[in-house]
Amino acid sequence: MPATRPDGRAFPADFLWGSATAAYQIEGAADEGGRGPSIWDTFSRTPGKTLDGDTGDVAADHYHRVPEDVALMQALGLGAYRLSVSWPRVQPTGQGAFNDEGLAFYSDLVDRLIAAGIKPVVTLYHWDLPQALEDAGGWTVRATAEHFGRYARRLAEVLGDRVHLWTTLNEPWCSAYLGYASGVHAPGVTDGAAALAAVHHLNLAHGLAVREIRDVLGADAPVSITLNLHVTRAATDDPADLDAKDRIDTIANEVFLQPILEGRYPERVAADTASVTDWSFVQSGDLEIIRTPLTQLGVNYYSTGRVRAGTPAVGDGGPGPDGHRSSAHSPWVGADRVEWLPQPGPHTAMGWNIEPKGLVDLLLELRDRYPALPLVVTENGAAFEDVPDADGRVHDVERIAYLHDHVDAVGEAIEAGADVRGYFVWSLMDNFEWAYGYSRRFGIVRVDYATGERTPKDSAAWYAELVRTNAVPPVDAVVPALTV
Ligand code: IFM
């Protein structure tokens, strides 16, 4: 375990403590309430695509347990809750008619949160594209971005100013590269050119959505995007290794950061990917739309990576060298000569190394590059092999240590001048971890998938203490188990 500080670093008075989830990972009710099929329904129901063939059909059954789950959040003392809207639940085919029952579900959830004193932070796209749109080309075609703009507009009309912060997309890196290059996520395509077209159309969808939300709710409407920026280190100072790191930074981070915040694509990306695509899908005026100013930038952080110039190893059957499920196809389009090195431990159950300093480095780099843009850590957390005791309680000391050290890292970055406004633990409860199905548990609340029963883990009590005191409790803080 990494060393922990004995003292509790304090946070700014208005700092927002929250937890995060995503629709497909917790809702279940896949065929209820007028919901249409999404790419994750199709993918997870295809044999071999997820561990043990798990699907999100039932998940944590949140759709039927909203009052209980909001009560849980209230018991935690959360200031905010980051949820995502299932596009096919509110617009079954992704274009045309909206589904009133789906819209009412989210409207009711938002009302309940507000009544419980919890600020709703709403993500419009956390990977569950309506299948009908995928059948028409998915993120590889421009029309999907245009449909997304119209969907965002309708949500802004329905949820309006009850939303504390809008987030257009969650981790477009995953949607583009895991969905269309390595194929370990839905829709399971393995085509580098398709992935780069998806990058651009996701960026465009983001920009169109920002404009639509502001058109409905006014110029001050709070809008963000959440990026999973990769913190990658070069193995040595050798120019070839430094170039390998630059190549990864470009394809992983800069193809989102630069268009969204600076209105251009990174200079080297065209040359790096010349054998794959000519980028002719970028049309005149697109970058203007994409760089529409944001209120905050959401940052998801879990671990770091290390690269050198070399030949990548993929297809070994275990977690991929970059921490994602292994595939014969690399997600790193244009980085054929980059080798990922194993990171020293400790590791989480995902095989991801634990390095809180990476979060400090990331937040400080963003502070330096975009000093006027407030940041929010929209996801951070860890999967471990939780073993309930005889009473069904989980004494998850490793998760507490992970959260302690990462929250402390956020405090360190704030003290060094990063304008970080909030932190959302991933996740409120155990859920469907995509290609890993239910085999990986990230929740601070345990879910018994056979009964749906929720049991707060020790980390939930620790997190509630953090929220209550607004300062980092010691890892061994004696706090009463959280009951609801
Ligand atoms: O579960 C995911 C989430 O959906 C997106 N960010 C990373 C989490 C852990 O893998």
| Residue 128 Cβ contacting ligand 1 at under 6 Å | no
Report which ligand 1 atom has the smallest distance to the Cα of 170. 5
Tell me how far the alpha carbon of residue 285 lies from the centroid of ligand 1, in angstroms: 32
- Asked if the bond preceding 187 is cis, omega within 30° of 0, the reply is yes
**Averaged over 327-345, what is the pLDDT?**
92
Instruction: State residue 5's pLDDT score.
Output: 47
171 has catalytic annotation: yes
**Averaged over 313-341, what is the pLDDT?**
74
**Averaged over 342-358, what is the pLDDT?**
96
157 has catalytic annotation: no
Among protein residues, the one whose CA lies closest to atom 1 of ligand 1: 433
Instruction: State residue 317's pLDDT score.
Output: 36
CA distances from 298 to 206, 227, 258 (A): 13, 6, 15
Tell me how far the alpha carbon of residue 433 lies from the centroid of ligand 1, in angstroms: 7
Q: pLDDT tier at 479 (50, 70, 90 boundaries)?
A: confident
Tell me how far the alpha carbon of residue 189 lies from the centroid of ligand 1, in angstroms: 20
Instruction: State residue 324's pLDDT score.
Output: 66
Among protein residues, the one whose CA lies closest to atom 4 of ligand 1: 22
Instruction: State residue 328's pLDDT score.
Output: 84
Q: Give the model confidence (pLDDT) of 72-89 as tens digits.
A: 999 999 999 999 999 999
Q: Give the model confidence (pLDDT) of 405-436 as tens digits.
A: 999 999 999 999 999 999 999 999 999 999 99
**Averaged over 3-22, what is the pLDDT?**
86
CA-based nearest residue to 152, from 199, 203, 213, 200: 213
Q: Give the model confidence (pLDDT) of 282-310 as tens digits.
A: 999 999 999 999 999 999 999 999 999 99
Q: Give the model confidence (pLDDT) of 210-223 as tens digits.
A: 999 999 999 999 99
Q: pLDDT tier at 54 (50, 70, 90 boundaries)?
A: very high
Q: Which two tokens mark 409?
A: 């890292």
Q: pLDDT tier at 153 (50, 70, 90 boundaries)?
A: very high
- Is the per-residue pLDDT at 445 higher than 60? yes
Which pTM does this prediction carry? 0.97
- Is the per-residue pLDDT at 319 higher than 80? no
- Is the per-residue pLDDT at 186 higher than 80? yes
Instruction: State residue 464's pLDDT score.
Output: 97
Instruction: State residue 327's pLDDT score.
Output: 80
- Is the per-residue pLDDT at 169 higher than 60? yes
Tell me how far the alpha carbon of residue 288 lies from the centroid of ligand 1, in angstroms: 30
Q: pLDDT tier at 325 (50, 70, 90 boundaries)?
A: low
- Is the per-residue pLDDT at 144 higher than 50? yes
The CATH superfamily of 16-371 is: Glycosidases (3.20.20.80)
Report which ligand 1 atom has the smallest distance to the Cα of 228. 6
Instruction: State residue 2's pLDDT score.
Output: 42
| Residue 379 Cβ contacting ligand 1 at under 6 Å | yes
Report which ligand 1 atom has the smallest distance to the Cα of 427. 1
Each residue of 246-266: b (16+ CB within 10 Å) or e? bbbbbbbbbbbbbbbbeeebb
> Phi first, then psi: what are they for 471, rounded to 5°?
-145, 155
Q: Give the model confidence (pLDDT) of 27-46 as tens digits.
A: 999 999 999 999 999 999 99
Report which ligand 1 atom has the smallest distance to the Cα of 22. 4
The residue whose CB lies within 8 Å of the most ligand 1 atoms, and thus the one to mutate among 379, 402, 425, 439, is 379
Tell me how far the alpha carbon of residue 255 lies from the centroid of ligand 1, in angstroms: 20
Angle at 77 between CA 443 and CA 469, to 5 degrees: 105
Which has more pLDDT, 107 or 311? 107
DSSP 152-174: HHHHHHHHGGG-SEEEEEE-HHI
| Residue 246 Cβ contacting ligand 1 at under 6 Å | no
Among protein residues, the one whose CA lies closest to atom 10 of ligand 1: 433
